[in-house]
């Protein structure tokens, strides 16, 4: 999401470090570069102006110009101002003192509102809540059926209701919402998520309907779902929705895409309300609370180790990982079967690119993200297929895999002998690498070489 912005900011800081001393002149040049990087990332112009002025006011102070590490001081100022822009703390989710808590989902058509409603239900379930979903979109064909499919996927309750009986659409919408709240109380559901009709553009009639829903349900949360790929359009729409409905927060979808990220940096400033969640993929669990400090860490190349650790704790088998580490660092090393099991663990965390983007792009991790861009995630699947085509004895002792065995394994896995040979070389390198680390050695250089091998033949 923030790749281009991150690269430009890091280049600016590198140029600043190259100066013998820090002066008002070269800080001014750095601020111009930062301003240009933000505008190219599609950040709102007013937001950029205010942010740059805040940075300038602090960066040209004597405490910075006379500091022992003025460049680091400037980087810290940029970091602090970006965190302030996004909201210093992770936004809290409001719950009703008397259940059910009502969450009204708002947004333009195609922003991912229905999918986000399901993801939010899944997130609430992990926290011990019992959410119920209801769609009041009676305009778009199959909209209510779509939410039913989403609810079944995340195993959440859904109120379907009946569409017939009302001559006009808005009374039907209000009836469905009222019935759903009553059903949530009867069923013991403590949260009701209301998926509303999407809008191709800001529509006066539909906005009036939203206001009536708000009046009827008195929701604790009114969340604006914004497609991060749409940039300033999402920001303008959020501003209009906030004026009509008084939003309590927003959810940014498609944060795993290649958009420039301007919406993420603008939407809170324009509405005055926090970004509460981000969607990072298609799967139900690709949804997480928005942590301003972690997002800024990604933008500035400082990584997001905390989120990576949380993902690992949630999805990985801790005992299996500990057993693997003990084997890998010992003199005996690990088998191909152990290697396959760890590949399966890694795949639970997502793509290699998404994992490595959470690591810092400086220090011992420098260069890993660039190498990750060349990794073919399909290669991990091919590696697993190759190992699956081996016998138990071959997986336990790779040295017995002769030429004829390699041909059989290639045929059984639908790959080539070249790919089997490549896997065995990488496996041998990794065994050696871990043994070296166990004795104390250079991990980064060896990791780079191993990752290069995952690009696949001819890449």
The CATH number assigned to the domain holding 395 equals 1.10.260.30
**What's the pLDDT score for residue 458?**
47
For residues 416 and 347, membership in a common domain is answered with yes
Determine the structural domain holding residue 36 and report its residue range. Answer: 3-86
Q: Which residue has the higher pLDDT, 431 or 304?
A: 431
For residues 332 and 268, membership in a common domain is answered with no
Instruction: Report residue 197 as tokens.
Output: 């009709």
d(CA 439, CA 447): 16
Question: If we measure between CA atoms, which residue out of 277, 201, 215, 205 comes closest to residue 245?
Answer: 215
d(CA 374, CA 352): 10
Mean pLDDT of 432-443: 64
SS3 260: coil
For residues 380 and 269, membership in a common domain is answered with no
Strand partners, 253: 227
The average confidence (pLDDT) of the chain is 79
d(CA 301, CA 362): 7
Q: Domain count of the chain?
A: 3
pLDDT of 238 over the 90 cut: no
Residue 114 domain-assigned?
Answer: yes
For residues 147 and 233, membership in a common domain is answered with yes
For residues 114 and 233, membership in a common domain is answered with yes
User: Following DSSP, what letter does each residue of 160-197 receive, concatenated?
Assistant: ----TT-SSHHHHHHHHHHHHHHHHHHHT-SEEEEEPP
Highest mean pLDDT among 169-183, 244-258, 362-376 belongs to 169-183
**What's the pLDDT score for residue 364?**
44
pLDDT of 316 over the 90 cut: no
Residue 215 domain-assigned?
Answer: yes
Using a 10 angstrom Cβ sphere, with 0-12 exposed, 13-18 middle and 19 or more buried, the burial of residue 189 is buried
d(CA 112, CA 250): 12
Instruction: Among 86, 112, 143, give the residue marking a domain's end.
Output: 86
**What's the pLDDT score for residue 56?**
84
Residue 303 domain-assigned?
Answer: no
Instruction: Among 234, 255, 288, give the residue marking a domain's end.
Output: 288
**CB distance 336 to 426 below 8 Å:** no
CA atoms within a 13 Å half-sphere pointing along the CA-CB vector of 438 = 17
**What's the pLDDT score for residue 248?**
93
**What's the pLDDT score for residue 402?**
93
For residues 220 and 349, membership in a common domain is answered with no
For residues 198 and 131, membership in a common domain is answered with yes
Residue 92 domain-assigned?
Answer: no
pLDDT digits (tens, 9 = 90+) for 409-429: 999 999 999 999 998 988 888
For residues 115 and 236, membership in a common domain is answered with yes
Residue 299 domain-assigned?
Answer: no
Q: Which of 5-14, 243-252, 432-441 is the least confident region?
A: 432-441
For residues 30 and 149, membership in a common domain is answered with no
Residue 24 domain-assigned?
Answer: yes
**What's the pLDDT score for residue 258?**
57
Q: Which residue has the higher pLDDT, 246 or 355?
A: 246
Mean pLDDT of 237-260: 82
pLDDT digits (tens, 9 = 90+) for 275-291: 899 888 888 888 888 88
**What's the pLDDT score for residue 206?**
83
Residue 445 domain-assigned?
Answer: yes
Residue 414 domain-assigned?
Answer: yes
pLDDT digits (tens, 9 = 90+) for 65-114: 555 566 777 778 888 888 888 887 777 888 998 999 999 999 888 888 99
The CATH number assigned to the domain holding 74 equals 1.20.120.140
From residue 359, give the alpha-carbon distance in Å to each of 8, 72, 215, 302.
18, 20, 46, 7
**What's the pLDDT score for residue 444?**
47
For residues 188 and 280, membership in a common domain is answered with yes
**CB distance 1 to 264 below 8 Å:** yes
pLDDT of 177 over the 90 cut: yes
CA 358: distance to chain centroid?
10
For residues 209 and 125, membership in a common domain is answered with yes
The CATH number assigned to the domain holding 112 equals 3.40.50.300
Q: What is the pTM of this model?
A: 0.66
For residues 192 and 241, membership in a common domain is answered with yes
């Amino acid at each position: 999401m923030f790749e281009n912005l991150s690269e430009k900011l890091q280049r600016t800081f590198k140029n600043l470090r190259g100066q013998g001393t820090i002066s008002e002149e070269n800080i001014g040049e750095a601020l111009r570069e930062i301003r240009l990087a933000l505008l190219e990332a599609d950040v709102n112009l007013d937001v950029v102006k205010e942010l740059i002025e805040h940075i300038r006011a602090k960066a040209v102070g004597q405490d910075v110009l006379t500091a022992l590490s003025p460049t680091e001081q400037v980087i810290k100022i940029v970091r602090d101002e970006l965190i302030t822009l996004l909201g210093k703390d992770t936004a809290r989710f409001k719950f009703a003192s008397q259940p059910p808590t009502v969450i009204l989902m708002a947004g333009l058509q195609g922003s991912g509102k229905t999918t986000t409603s399901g993801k939010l239900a899944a997130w609430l379930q992990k926290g011990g809540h019992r959410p119920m979903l209801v769609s009041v979109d009676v305009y778009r064909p199959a909209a209510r059926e779509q939410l039913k499919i989403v609810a079944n996927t995340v195993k959440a309750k859904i109120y379907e209701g009946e569409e017939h009986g009302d001559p006009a659409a808005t009374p039907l919408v209000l009836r469905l919402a009222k019935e759903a709240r009553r059903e949530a109380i009867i069923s013991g559901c403590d949260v009701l998520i209301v998926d509303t009709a999407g809008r191709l553009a800001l529509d006066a009639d539909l906005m009036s309907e939203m206001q009536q829903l708000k009046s009827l349900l008195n929701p604790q949360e009114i969340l604006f779902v914004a497609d991060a790929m749409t940039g300033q359009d999402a920001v303008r729409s959020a501003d209009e929705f906030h004026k009509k409905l008084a939003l309590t927060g927003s959810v940014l979808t498609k944060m795993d895409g290649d958009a420039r990220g301007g919406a993420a940096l603008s939407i809170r400033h324009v509405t005055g309300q926090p970004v509460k969640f981000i969607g990072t993929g298609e799967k139900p669990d690709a949804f997480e609370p928005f942590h301003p400090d972690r997002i800024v860490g990604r933008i500035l190349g400082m990584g997001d180790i905390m989120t990576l650790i949380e993902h690992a704790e949630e999805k990985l088998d801790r005992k299996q990982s500990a057993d693997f580490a003990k084997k890998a660092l010992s003199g005996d090393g690990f088998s191909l079967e152990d290697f396959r099991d760890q590949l399966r663990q890694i795949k639970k965390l997502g793509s290699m690119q998404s994992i490595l983007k959470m690591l810092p792009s400086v220090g011992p991790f420098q260069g890993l993200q660039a190498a990750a861009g060349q990794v073919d995630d399909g290669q991990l699947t091919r590696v697993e297929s190759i190992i699956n085509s081996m016998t138990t004895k071959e997986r336990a002792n790779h040295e017995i895999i002769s030429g004829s065995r390699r041909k059989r394994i290639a045929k059984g896995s639908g790959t080539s002998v070249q790919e089997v040979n490549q896997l065995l070389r990488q496996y041998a390198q990794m065994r050696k690498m871990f043994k070296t680390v166990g004795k104390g050695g250079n991990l980064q250089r060896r990791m780079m070489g191993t990752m290069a091998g995952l690009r696949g033949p001819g890449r």
